Amino acid sequence: MTPVKFLFEVGVGIKAEQAVADLGFDVKSLPDPPILRLAREESRILVTMDKDFGELVYRSQHGHVGVLLLRMDDADGDAKANAIRLIVQNHAHELAGHFCVYQNGVLRIR
């Protein structure tokens, strides 16, 4: 099985990024502009809180390796870290190739 790698959009926060790294996954972070391209080039699942990536992926039909959109606008760093830790522990290999949305404790994998 191919190792799962993640690319965090910087707006998600360092605590969430570190939580996934602590689980032993390959993790990077980057600001918006080249992030979707780099995620494709390095076969990384993009973790973001920016809803604009949904439009980029669906309307513009930009390819992706997987996108995880965290709809946790009012959450602090610890809450995001705990959520991403649970998602990755339980669903890491299901995220690849899918546009996934996490909101109100529910993960939707499309």
pLDDT tens-digit readout, 17-66: 999 999 999 999 987 767 888 888 999 999 999 887 777 777 766 678 89
Which two three-digit tokens encode residue 72? 């946790």
Q: Does 5 have pLDDT greater than 90?
A: yes
The pTM assigned to this predicted structure is 0.88
Give the separation between CA 60 and CA 11, rounded to whole angstroms.
Answer: 22
Contact assessment for residue 65 and residue 40, using Cβ atoms and an 8 Å cutoff: yes
Domains: count for the chain: 1
Q: State the residue range of the domain holding 62.
A: 5-109
Q: What is the mean pLDDT of the chain?
A: 89
Report d(CA 77, CA 14) in Å as an integer.
8
Q: What string of DSSP letters covers 47-88? A: EES-THHHHHHHTS----S-EEEEE-TT--HHHHHHHHHHHH
pLDDT of residue 61: 67
